[in-house]
């Protein structure tokens, strides 16, 4: 295909409408037609990346293969497209300004006054086009975070306006809004949508396609009204009704021919409608599953919907590939202790100990692990979850009383988890962890090897602390084996207790690498072990 086509996705009325899912679903539909598609997110905040934001602020921090701490929408993009993203796929206001200011300091602006327009907007536009020019995608879908009208997103919207002008036919603007139901009037209301489109028009952008989020099916007359008032063709008003799973959204959009509308707009041939076979098979398997598998997720952010997004999705995918309905139970680690763990966790077929930072809730993770280990309940520990497995085992099996991670207790007598050597001189908190994909070699015969079906794997990381190798022999003598390590640094990446049915801890984050058509093997095996445990 000759020119890269650029699609912008903006949102109006309220936030949390699921722009990321709409962008990912549209990307999926275009990809199914054979196009090379990537999706990018612009976040209008000043942080350089979300790595320094806590989950209360920003939900999960996703990590790309190239070690960028990114917005969780990139996780959706990867899960839908099954294509890896990089740091070029997530840009914040902070990064834009940082790069402009760096250029200013170098003298690149040759004495000019540096301004939002054109310098900031040029830098934004450069980052949009980079994906098309450098990586040769057919479609670059750019999601603009926030809601139209926010002060913060103005430079991004202005850049879209300029690009629309520059790119002409090669540019499409999709605007997502909300159509609320007013119970007292028994009516759906389009006024907020009209206002939101007006606001976009005031900023110089006429949307080409509108996607209306709604709880139930909207009447055609209502869609016509939106088309008329918003200057949008009737077939370009798409409704996105709430569906039981986000993975149905591509099919919802396909039924309304959203991809065809876009293809016609950019002057590409429409051709036959793709069957989306693997995608439909996945959904079929999901709806065919009748039996459940009960998984307990132990973490300190369980009350937050998005804090463990990739773990939730990986578990869901793994359950479907085991032909089970996922019955996920959330356990707040601050509320678990040795006295109540057995009672609270007794019905779980499998237990997952979540990643995390800091002391809060850590003792509850030990209690859950002790219960799982003593009762041989399949268990997966991820990152801090793996480190907790090591600490619990040290304390309760090896008799190393008060063993700990130096993250929690710098003066612990037994530093079974310790700061990585390379981290000792790190002072900046941003982007300074061990981040991104690293090699790991698995021991043949281990549960992890069995799961992956091969010795050489690559998974993504986000940590500062590590298993202290000085203790390795003592752990192995006591029955906890180090079965995966980095071939260069010998850093221990995987531990397991072979005497148990399935008890595996991983320093890496397998959840960042699980997609609809390519579920992560470790999750699939963990859920399989949980299913077998149930029997």
Which positions lie near ligand GLN, rule CB under 6 A? 355-357, 383-384, 407, 462-465
DSSP 60: P
Confirm whether 379 is a catalytic residue.
no
- Which C-beta is closer to ligand GLN: that of 407 or that of 496? 407
Confirm whether 230 is a catalytic residue.
no
Q: Distance between alpha carbon 394 and the CA centroid of its chain, in Å?
A: 33
- Which C-beta is closer to ligand GLN: that of 447 or that of 462? 462
- Which C-beta is closer to ligand GLN: that of 313 or that of 407? 407
Give least dist CB 59 to ligand GLN, A. Answer: 14
- Which C-beta is closer to ligand GLN: that of 309 or that of 464? 464
Q: Report how far residue 298's alpha carbon sits from residue 408's, in angstroms, rounded to the nearest whole number.
A: 18
Q: Report how far residue 348's alpha carbon sits from residue 372's, in angstroms, rounded to the nearest whole number.
A: 10
- Which C-beta is closer to ligand GLN: that of 76 or that of 464? 464
CB 293 within 8 A of CB 378: no
Taken in order 412, 415, 421, 426, the sign of the CA dihedral is: negative
Give least dist CB 366 to ligand GLN, A. Answer: 15
Closest CA to 448 of 381, 356, 389, 395: 381
> Would you call 183 exposed, middle or buried from its count of C-beta atoms within 10 A (0-12, 13-18, 19+)?
exposed
DSSP string, 192-218: HHHHHHHHHHHTT---SEEEEEESSPP
Q: Which residues pair with 352 in a beta bridge?
A: 297, 380
Give least dist CB 418 to ligand GLN, A. Answer: 10
Q: Distance between alpha carbon 200 and the CA centroid of its chain, in Å?
A: 28
Tell me which of 61, 230, 383, 388 is the catalytic residue.
Answer: 383
DSSP 278: H
Compute the C-alpha angle 352/74/4, nearest 5°.
155
Closest CA to 320 of 91, 41, 520: 520
Give least dist CB 399 to ligand GLN, A. Answer: 24
Give least dist CB 46 to ligand GLN, A. Answer: 24
- Which C-beta is closer to ligand GLN: that of 143 or that of 493? 493
Q: Report how far residue 28's alpha carbon sits from residue 280's, in angstroms, rounded to the nearest whole number.
A: 12
- Which C-beta is closer to ligand GLN: that of 440 or that of 516? 440
CB 188 within 8 A of CB 179: yes
Give least dist CB 509 to ligand GLN, A. Answer: 7
Query: Residue 245's CB: how many other CB atoms inside 10 A?
Result: 12
Task: Provide CB contacts within 8 A for 258, sequence distance 6+.
Answer: 26, 29, 209, 211, 238
Give least dist CB 457 to ligand GLN, A. Answer: 18
Confirm whether 440 is a catalytic residue.
no
The phi, psi pair for 146, rounded to 5°, reads 80, -170
- Which C-beta is closer to ligand GLN: that of 410 or that of 498? 410
Dihedral (Cα; 279, 284, 285, 290), 10-degree rounding: 150
> What letters, b where the CB count within 10 A reaches 16 and e where it falls short, cover 410-427?
eebebbbbbbeeeeeeee
Tell me which of 76, 175, 461, 509 is the catalytic residue.
Answer: 509
Closest CA to 147 of 102, 99, 196: 196
The phi, psi pair for 525, rounded to 5°, reads -70, -40
Tell me which of 69, 123, 496, 511 is the catalytic residue.
Answer: 511
Query: Residue 126's CB: how many other CB atoms inside 10 A?
Result: 13
- Which C-beta is closer to ligand GLN: that of 28 or that of 461? 461
Give least dist CB 507 to ligand GLN, A. Answer: 8
Q: Report how far residue 42's alpha carbon sits from residue 66's, in angstroms, rounded to the nearest whole number.
A: 18
Give least dist CB 75 to ligand GLN, A. Answer: 15
Closest CA to 243 of 181, 287, 276: 287
Question: Is the link from the previous residue into 260 a cis peptide, with omega within 30 of 0?
Answer: no
- Which C-beta is closer to ligand GLN: that of 60 or that of 138? 60
Q: Report how far residue 210's alpha carbon sits from residue 256's, in angstroms, rounded to the nearest whole number.
A: 12
Tell me the catalytic residues.
383, 509, 511
């Amino acid at each position: 295909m000759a020119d890269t086509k650029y699609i912008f996705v903006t949102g109006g009325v309220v936030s949390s409408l699921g722009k990321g899912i709409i962008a990912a679903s549209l990307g999926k539909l275009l990809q199914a037609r054979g196009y090379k598609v990537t999706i990018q997110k612009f976040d209008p905040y000043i942080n350089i990346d979300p790595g320094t934001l806590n989950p209360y602020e920003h939900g999960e921090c996703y990590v790309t293969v190239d070690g960028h701490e990114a917005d969780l929408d990139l996780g959706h993009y990867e899960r839908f497209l099954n294509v890896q993203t990089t740091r070029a796929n997530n840009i914040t206001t902070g990064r834009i300004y940082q790069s402009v200011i760096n250029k200013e300091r170098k003298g690149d602006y040759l004495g000019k006054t540096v301004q939002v327009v054109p310098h900031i907007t040029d830098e934004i536009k450069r980052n949009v086009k980079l994906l098309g020019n450098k990586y040769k995608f057919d479609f670059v879908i750019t999601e603009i975070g926030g809601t139209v009208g926010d002060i913060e997103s103005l430079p991004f919207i202005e850049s879209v306006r300029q690009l629309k002008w520059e790119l002409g036919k090669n540019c499409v603007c999709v605007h997502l809004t909300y159509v609320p139901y007013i119970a007292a009037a028994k009516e759906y209301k389009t006024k907020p949508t009209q206002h939101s489109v007006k606001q976009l028009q005031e900023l110089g952008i006429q949307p080409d396609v509108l996607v209306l989020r709604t709880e139930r099916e909207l009447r055609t007359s209502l869609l016509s009204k939106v088309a008329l008032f918003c200057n949008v063709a009737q077939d370009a008003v798409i409704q996105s009704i709430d569906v039981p799973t986000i993975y149905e959204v591509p099919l919802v959009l396909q039924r309304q021919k959203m991809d065809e509308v876009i293809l016609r707009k950019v002057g590409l041939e429409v051709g036959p409608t793709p069957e989306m076979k693997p995608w439909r098979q996945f959904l079929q398997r999901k709806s065919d599953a009748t039996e459940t598998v009960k998984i307990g997720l132990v973490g300190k952010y369980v009350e937050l919907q998005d804090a463990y997004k990739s773990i939730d999705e990986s578990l869901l995918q793994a359950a479907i590939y085991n032909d089970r309905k996922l019955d996920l139970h959330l356990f707040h680690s601050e509320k678990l202790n040795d006295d109540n763990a057995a009672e609270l966790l007794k019905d779980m077929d499998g237990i997952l100990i979540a990643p995390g930072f800091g002391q809060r809730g850590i003792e509850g993770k030990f209690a859950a692990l002790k219960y799982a280990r003593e009762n041989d309940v399949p268990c997966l520990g991820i990152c801090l979850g793996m480190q907790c497995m090591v600490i619990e085992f040290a304390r309760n099996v090896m008799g190393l009383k008060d063993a700990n991670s130096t993250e929690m207790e710098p003066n612990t007598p037994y530093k079974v988890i310790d700061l990585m050597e390379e981290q000792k001189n790190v002072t900046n908190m941003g982007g300074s962890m061990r981040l991104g994909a690293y090699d790991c070699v698995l021991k043949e015969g281990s549960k992890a090897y069995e799961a992956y079906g091969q010795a050489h794997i690559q998974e993504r990381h986000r940590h500062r602390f590590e298993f202290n190798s000085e203790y390795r022999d003592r752990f192995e003598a006591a029955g906890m084996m180090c079965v995966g390590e980095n071939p260069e640094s010998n850093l221990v990446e995987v531990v397991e207790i072979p005497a148990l049915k399935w008890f595996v801890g991983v320093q890496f984050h397998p959840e960042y690498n699980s997609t609809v058509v390519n579920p992560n093997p470790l999750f699939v095996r963990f859920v399989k072990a949980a299913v077998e445990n149930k029997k």
